[in-house]
């Protein structure tokens, strides 16, 4: 499946547990020797009485993460397409919170991503002084805007996003992700304000690298921009894979809306998957 160019494998584990190991996930994620994806999504039964399903997310390096907005829309579309629920509103349990999903009036999928978290210890982000808020990006010191959308984000506002090359994005993001200030690493967003209701964004995700879109990253960038009065809600977030819409009233829950599409379905034999020396 894909949501704004962010691509996923979806596995239904409601009746079966495939016990995928991190090594198996790495093989499946490889675009040359496996299937290829930005993230692997798993649908499971939940023990949470408030939720309808459990929604688990794995990066290409095999690590499990807390949140993925684009993946959440694909998760919802999968449930509706295969008739796993006839409810209009689906509540999903993620690693860190409950999220609500439904179709909106434009027939796109809206995800209630919950409230942003600014408590630095909860992100986690541990600056010791004012200097720790600044990172060097293309020979400039740019201030970090850190928050959690159920997963950690560091957002950097640039005057012109186009001046950053792919390699510069990678090098800058890797340095930030390795910083001890972010002990659980961080998703790094580079944004540019286009007008009062639109921003442009590129995200380098921890465990996956640069992706064509990042739903939680779009939420993080929009929240930071609204909080600083740079733009107003609703916000169009333009990424390489498409445009997402974010709504936030500066105090409540963040609503993410956008498309999701099933690209193809198939089967693979777990027993035939072996670690290749080239991986």
Q: Is-contact 41 8, C-beta < 8 A?
A: yes
C-beta neighbour count of 203 within 10 angstroms: 30
Burial of 98 (0-12, 13-18, 19+ CB in 10 A): middle
Q: Is-contact 222 235, C-beta < 8 A?
A: yes
Distance between CA 248 and CA 25 in Å, rounded?
Answer: 35
Backbone angles phi, psi at 69, to 5 degrees: -70, -40
Structure tokens at 186: 């961080």
Find the catalytic residue in 74, 157, 214, 219: 214
Find the catalytic residue in 68, 74, 157, 219: 68
The answer to whether 214 is a known catalytic residue is yes
Catalytic residue ranges: 68, 214
């Amino acid at each position: 499946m894909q949501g704004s160019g962010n691509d996923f494998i979806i596995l239904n584990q409601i009746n079966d547990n495939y016990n995928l190991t991190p090594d198996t996930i790495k093989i499946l994620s490889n675009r040359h020797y496996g299937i290829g994806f930005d993230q692997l999504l798993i649908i499971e039964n939940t023990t949470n009485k408030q939720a309808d399903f459990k929604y688990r997310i794995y990066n290409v390096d095999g690590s499990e993460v807390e949140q993925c907005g684009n993946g959440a829309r694909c998760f919802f579309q999968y449930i509706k397409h295969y008739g796993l629920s006839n409810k209009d509103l689906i509540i999903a349990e993620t690693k860190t919170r409950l999220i609500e999903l439904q179709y909106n009036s434009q027939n796109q999928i809206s995800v209630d991503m919950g409230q942003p978290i600014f408590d630095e210890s909860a992100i986690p982000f541990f600056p010791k002084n004012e200097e720790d808020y600044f990172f060097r990006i293309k020979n400039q010191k740019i201030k970090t805007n850190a928050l959690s959308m159920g997963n950690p984000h560091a957002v950097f506002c640039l005057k012109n996003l186009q001046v950053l090359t792919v390699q510069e994005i990678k090098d800058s993001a890797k340095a930030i992700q390795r910083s001890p200030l972010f002990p659980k690493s961080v998703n790094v967003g580079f944004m540019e304000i286009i007008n009062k209701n639109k921003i442009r964004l590129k995200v380098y995700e921890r465990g996956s690298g640069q992706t064509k879109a990042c739903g939680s990253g779009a939420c993080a960038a929009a929240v930071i921009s609204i909080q600083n009065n740079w733009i107003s809600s609703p916000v169009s977030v333009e990424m390489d894979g498409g445009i997402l819409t974010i709504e936030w009233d500066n105090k409540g829950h963040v609503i993410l809306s956008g498309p999701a599409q099933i690209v193809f379905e198939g089967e693979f034999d777990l027993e035939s998957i072996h670690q290749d020396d080239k991986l």
